[in-house]
Structure 1
Amino acid sequence: MTELRTARTPTLEIAYAEHGPPGGPPVVLLHGFPYAPQGYDAVVPPLAAAGRRVIVPYLRGYGPTRFLAPDTPRSGQQAALGKDLLDLLDALAIPRAVLAGYDWGGRAACIVAALWPERCAGLVSCTGYNIQDIAGSTRPAAPEQEHRHWYQYYFHTARGRAGLEADRAGIARLLWRLWSPDWAFDDATFAASAAAFDNPDFVDVVIQSYRHRFGYAAGDPALEAIEAALAAQPRIAVPTIAPHGASDGVGPVEGSAGHARYFSGFYERRVIPRVGHNPPQEAPEAFARCILDLPAA
């Protein structure tokens, strides 16, 4: 990653890296949990070489990104992630950008694409439509899927919060292995991203995120209007490509097979063989190609 910059929004001082020509068409690359912007290190060069202005931020609760006020709720709810992305575009005076991400980052990108489509020139969202159906979260899934969410249920408990506080890197490394069984990442690769988990708000943001999505924690009152809009499961009209790793250990590939119903414009699903939950790091060329192949909005 290059030297970090910061952008001040109404809520955060967001740390980000920027690459490529400043006047190029902007692309924002958004990481997930438990990952970091370093996951895009091999995605950035082909995009910059293609003339794109590439912005790679740390999400709230990660790396050098910080809350401005001590009394702002340390929320990781989906509305917070979407609003942070919208605020970042405003802070950088970017009227419209391609938005690309996975896991939490893919959710933020989907939210902006759905609610503020005029700000999104195209969408790359791993595993397809990532906006949470919180009202439907009480419906049990098949047992085979329920066991993959063990970490979420763990985080619902005081024991899980204490476990994350005590060994955030250990939990993250286990999830990397479980979610990407064909990816032989080394210690240095993991360590480069794990440094981002040392943020003082990491545990609070993560725990609130996994509790809120099941209705077990209140959201930030300032974000209620956004959550209400997301409850309708809004369709996405911007051009979208949805890569999905065929070996994804938390979101199996069949899960996105019917997601075309959530999109009203161009939509293409791409299954990437022998890739798990982290396509930008496991298959950077394929991920970059998804961005470059997006049709003009």
Structure 2
Amino acid sequence: MKQIQAGVLNVAYRDLGPADGPAVVLLHGFPYDIRAYDAVAERITAAGCRCIVPYLRGYGGTHFIDANTPRSGEQAALGSDLLALLDALKISQAVLAGYDWGGRAACVVSALWPERVVGMVSCEPGYNIQDIAHATRPAAPQAEQRLWYQYYLHGARGYAGLEADRDAFCKLLWQLWSPTWAFTDEVFLASAQSFHTPDFVDMVTHSYRHRFGLVDGDAQYAAIEQRLAKQPVIAVPTVILAGACDGVTPVQDEQQALRRFSGPVRRSILEGVGHNVPQEAPEAFARAVLSLSGP
């Protein structure tokens, strides 16, 4: 494990594979951590790529440099963190691959700073930039039911519940979101260690409140949020992976899934796979990355 100062964070990350290989950044989601990519990284580095696998803000060994920095989980912050990490590591271009929050960070950088991106792998919904201005529009009842945890975290009761028992809350989400994945307690607990940081609960609750317009963001990211509010298209080469058994993000209509991509894009639906695509289907995820990295 390495550490590097990048923007407002001291980032903990793994740096695997040949230093001169094509760069790939693997970005985990909520509530997961870098272990989601163990098997993916093994395959990618064997093919000659350099693999950077960071803990996102609020997770594991990544921490804020200044105690006064707002613990924001907004999308602009995640994208800014990723850009700062590329700068700190002096990586001019990379394949960005992620799901959930990590996929959102990859989408933000791909949309706003495409010159830094060789290609992107993003899991369903593929285009993962939030349309906050329209976040209060109701969805179909089945979709609303899947988002119970977000509404729960909007209030003090949800904050207290997550603080009181992070492991039970996050394990329940693993089970609901990946109903076909028979993960063991050992596998879950290996990742759950990363949720026991001073910033995790603040980060998570802020994220789910900000995306609904319930709280302000960090002022330093306001300009980025304004750009994201325009729902910019993504032009970089993209592979979208959709788990057919995803319990929180069901497979979209193809036209809807691809409508904000203007560059080369292809989409694969993975049967028997849930939300945590890299850990459930590492071979498919690695193939998608290598199809873009060209080692």
Match of 1:294 in 2: 292
Q: Which SS does the other structure have where 2:259 is aligned?
A: helix
Match of 1:14 among 11, 18, 29: 11
Q: Does 1:51 align with 2:48?
A: yes
Count of residue correspondences: 293
Deviation of 1:294 (Å): 2.3
Shift >3 Å, 4+ stretches: none
Change (3 A) 1:255 1:75: farther
Match of 2:275 in 1: 277
Deviation of 1:255 (Å): 5.8
- Asked whether the equivalents of residues 74 and 208 of structure 1 are also in contact (C-alpha less than 8 Å), the reply is yes
Task: Give the distance between the partners of 2:254 and 2:180, measured in 1 at CA.
Answer: 20
- 5+ long unaligned stretches in structure 1: none
Match of 1:191 in 2: 189
- Asked whether the equivalents of residues 177 and 247 of structure 2 are also in contact (C-alpha less than 8 Å), the reply is yes
**TM-score normalised by structure 2 residue count:** 0.98
Match of 1:121 among 111, 118, 121: 118
Q: Deviations over 1:92-140 (max 9, x none)?
A: 0000000000000000000000000000100000011000000110100
Task: Give the distance between the partners of 1:167 and 1:10, measured in 2 at CA.
Answer: 31
Task: Give the distance between the partners of 1:13 and 1:151, measured in 2 at CA.
Answer: 29
Task: Give the distance between the partners of 1:295 and 1:109, measured in 2 at CA.
Answer: 15
Match of 2:94 in 1: 97
Match of 1:110 in 2: 107
Q: Deviations over 1:14-40 (max 9, x none)?
A: 000011100000000000000000010
Task: Give the distance between the partners of 2:117 and 2:254, measured in 1 at CA.
Answer: 21
Q: Does 1:177 align with 2:166?
A: no
Q: Does 1:34 align with 2:31?
A: yes
Deviation of 1:260 (Å): 1.3
Q: Deviations over 1:133-189 (max 9, x none)?
A: 001101000000000000000000100000000011111000000000000000110
Match of 1:209 in 2: 207
- 5+ long unaligned stretches in structure 2: none
Q: Does 1:247 align with 2:224?
A: no
Task: Give the distance between the partners of 2:254 and 2:30, measured in 1 at CA.
Answer: 19
Percent of aligned pairs with the same amino acid: 62
- Asked whether the equivalents of residues 129 and 256 of structure 1 are also in contact (C-alpha less than 8 Å), the reply is no
Q: Which amino acid aligns with 1:132?
A: Q
Task: Give the distance between the partners of 2:81 and 2:9, measured in 1 at CA.
Answer: 8
Q: Which amino acid aligns with 1:103?
A: D
Q: Deviations over 1:75-105 (max 9, x none)?
A: 0000000000000000000000000000000
Q: Which amino acid aligns with 2:95?
A: V
Q: Which SS does the other structure have where 1:28 is aligned?
A: strand
Change (3 A) 1:120 1:206: same
Q: Which SS does the other structure have where 2:60 is aligned?
A: coil
